[in-house]
Amino acid sequence: MSKNFDVVVIGGGPGGYIAAIRAAQLGFNTACIDEWQNDKGGPAPGGTCTNVGCIPSKALLQSSEHFEHAAKHFGDHGISLENLQIDVAKMVGRKDSVVKQNNDGILYLFKKNKVTFFHGRGSFGKAVEGGYEISVAGKTAETLTAKNVIVATGSNARALPGVPFDEQKILSNDGALRIGATPKKLGVIGAGVIGLEMGSVWRRLGADVTILEGLPVFLGAADEQIAKEAHKAFTKQGLKIELGVKVNAISTEGEGVSIAYADAKGAERTLAVDKLIVSIGRVPNTIGLNPEAVGLQLDERGAIVVDAECRTNLPGVWAVGDVVRGPMLAHKAEEEGVAVAERIAGQHGHVNFDTIPWVIYTSPEIAWVGQTEQALKAAGRAYKAGTFPFLANGRARALGDTTGMVKFLADAQTDEILGVHIVGPMASELISEAVVAMEFKASAEDIARICHAHPSLSEATKEAALAVDKRTLNF
Ligand code: FAD
Ligand code: NAI
């Protein structure tokens, strides 16, 4: 087997495995090294996203949503169920098999595209003539040489200072996806994406969930109007969200977990829970990469320093995904991976940071692309806004899911779409139309003039575009 490669990718998450496939498609002799192990010690490529992130969380969200529908909404359709139960072990087993299908799919794609896969930890050795030496420490040790290296080593959950994850009571995303029985009381620190998604899963299955958030505002990155609507919906569902808290101490003595915190008014409070998910953001991961060996530059947060095109300070070394600046999203990592492979081939890789969509897979889902209304106001940009509620959408009524709205923000003079924000059913799918529109620099009028199928949720998008000029037809 050749040990000399044109491209060696370290990390097999969405950034790394996609970069490796694209590099191989472009004719490079490519290797991908990934150290993730399944329960049997075998390879499990796909990174955080596949193993303990996007995929398993969506599997559990789906199962728990089915359960909640059966428990609370089937009756409206005339469907009655007796003795409804959830077998959490089976639900978690299904999630594991969905993960495995994805792991196997990536190994198949490597074979199909002739990417050589190494299972183990990759680390920098020394710079050599025309490239770098990369060691792989797995069941066997190997030394590879690479003309180009793409680092895609991802991120790890951030722990609260002095409160390490034990994955039994103090859970990172990993432990949160492995809970074997619905806890009576679940605490979550951080009302961000993971807190809301995982909090929703266990609330739907019957847990009493309290989320403690440090910031005084809810979902500060989202459009304020949309965040407000989402907050209202989550509170109505029974998620307890406390904003503006300061966590002072956490104790795991005794049976559960006790959290001492000051609430928004400064009053001292204690929350007792069976388990605590800590979801306060993630940190870039370069553990074991040995960046010092070659002088690879990191910033003060531990992220690999890259330019707008993912070039590091070293010739021929690139970095993509969660380990570099920018949003920690799988699709952002993938786009960077493709763009870097294409740049190595002398092509013009393209990532438009202004049109990266965000989705939170709660119910209602939250999705957005572009700028928020508060950001436009702060920038002093003249804009027009249009909203359309799902309550006035026929398909949403038929689905029985009328929470939320679509909101358009467009330039006051040119009508160019500046941002689209959705809270409501299938927001994750609906947002794609807005991404396409913004990528093509469309105006709100462009969307308003496109024929949308009836009855469909996407009609709410068209109507919100019409609302920009105050000419909705159905509201
Ligand atoms: P990773 O996916 O973290 O992959 C890095 C890989 O590199 C890992 O397999 C790791 O083991 C390996 N590695 C690290 N160091 C080495 C080394 N030295 N040698 C060999 N291998 C190494 N994003 C979305 O867009 N949508 C979602 O719905 C979504 N849901 C999420 C849910 C949760 C609970 C979490 C935690 C994250 C979620 N994310 C989601 C974020 C998403 O998972 C990340 O943005 C994405 O995985 C980043 O991809 P990456 O390739 O940069 O890194
Ligand atoms: P996050 O950044 O989304 O949210 C963290 C929250 O914790 C913030 O609201 C922050 O103010 C709060 N916080 C921080 N320190 C705190 C403290 N000491 N006490 C109380 N609150 C505190 O991070 P999260 O949820 O951990 O997710 C990490 C990343 O993973 C996300 O930013 C996102 O990039 C990715 N992800 C994406 C998903 C998606 O696309 N659907 C799903 C899950 C994760």
- Least Cα distance to 12 among 95, 105, 93 occurs for 105
CA 11 to ligand 1: nearest atom: 7
Contact 115, 12 (CB under 8 A): no
Is residue 55 over pLDDT 80?
yes
Q: What's the CA-to-centroid distance between 445 and ligand 2, angstroms?
A: 35
Look up the CATH number of domain 355-468.
Answer: 3.30.390.30
Query: Could you tell me the pLDDT band of residue 380, with boundaries at 50, 70 and 90?
Result: very high
146 pLDDT higher than 60: yes
* Ligand 2 atom with least separation from CA of 328: 34
- Yes or no: say if 279 and 189 are a contact pair by the CB < 8 Å rule: yes
Q: Does 2 have pLDDT greater than 90?
A: no
Which residues have a Cβ under 8 Å from the Cβ of 355 and sit 6 or more positions away? 369, 370, 435, 438, 439
Proximal ligand: closest to the CA of 197: 2
Closest residue CA from atom 28 of ligand 2: 281
Q: How far is the CA of 201 from the centre of ligand 1 (A)?
A: 21
Chain segment 65-76, per-residue pLDDT in tens: 999 999 999 999
Kindly report the protein residue whose alpha carbon is nearest to atom 19 of ligand 2.
214
> Do the domains spanning 3-157+283-351 and 170-280 agree at the CATH topology level?
yes
Contact yes or no for 122/287 (Cβ under 8 A): no
CA-48 nearest atom, ligand 1: 2
Percent of the chain residues topping a pLDDT of 70: 100
Tell whether ligand 1 has an atom less than 6 A from the beta carbon of residue 49. Answer: yes
Q: At what angle do helices 193-204 and 54-68 cross, to 10 degrees?
A: 40
Q: What is the DSSP letter of 392?
A: G
pLDDT tens-digit series, residues 71-128: 999 999 999 999 999 999 999 999 999 999 999 999 999 999 999 999 999 999 999 9
Binding-site residues from annotation: 58, 122, 153-155, 190-197, 213, 281, 322, 328-331
Cβ 119 under 6 angstroms from ligand 1 = no
Contacts of 335 (CB under 8 A, 6+ apart): 351, 356
Kindly state if the Cβ of 289 falls inside 6 Å of ligand 1: yes
Please tell me the distance between residue 396's alpha carbon and the centre of ligand 2 in angstroms.
30
190 Cβ below 6 A of ligand 2:
yes
Residues in Cβ contact with 303 at an 8 Å cutoff, skipping those fewer than 6 apart: 284, 323, 324, 325
- pLDDT category of residue 304 using cuts at 50, 70 and 90: very high
User: What's residue 1's pLDDT?
Assistant: 52
Q: Which ligand gives the minimal distance to the CA of 284?
A: 1
Q: Cβ(125)–Cβ(258) under 8 Å?
A: no
Q: Which residues are catalytic?
A: 454
Give the Cα-Cα-Cα angle 126, 130, 136 (nearest 5 degrees).
40
Give the class (CATH, top level) of 3-157+283-351.
Answer: alpha beta
The pLDDT tens digits of the residues spanning 207-245 come to: 999 999 999 999 999 999 999 999 999 999 999 999 999
Does the beta carbon of 261 sit less than 6 angstroms from any atom of ligand 2?
A: no
Q: Is the pLDDT of residue 179 over 90?
A: yes
Residue 463, number of CB atoms within 10 A of its CB: 26
318-365, pLDDT tens digit by residue?
999 999 999 999 999 999 999 999 999 999 999 999 999 999 999 999
Sorted by where each begins, the domain ranges of the chain are: 3-157+283-351, 170-280, 355-468
Q: How far is the CA of 336 from the centre of ligand 1 (A)?
A: 14
Closest atom, ligand 2, to C-alpha of 247: 19
CATH ID of 170-280, from 3.40.50.20, 3.50.50.60, 3.90.1150.10, 1.10.510.10: 3.50.50.60
**279 CB within 6 A, ligand 1:** no
Ligand closest to Cα of 368 equals 2
What is the pLDDT confidence band of residue 317, given thresholds at 50, 70 and 90?
very high
From 62, 158, 165, 193, the mutation candidate for ligand 2 (largest count of ligand atoms within 8 A of CB) is: 193
Does the CB atom of residue 276 touch ligand 2 within 6 A? no
- What's residue 313's pLDDT? 98
CB-ligand 1 contact for 288 (6 Å cutoff): yes
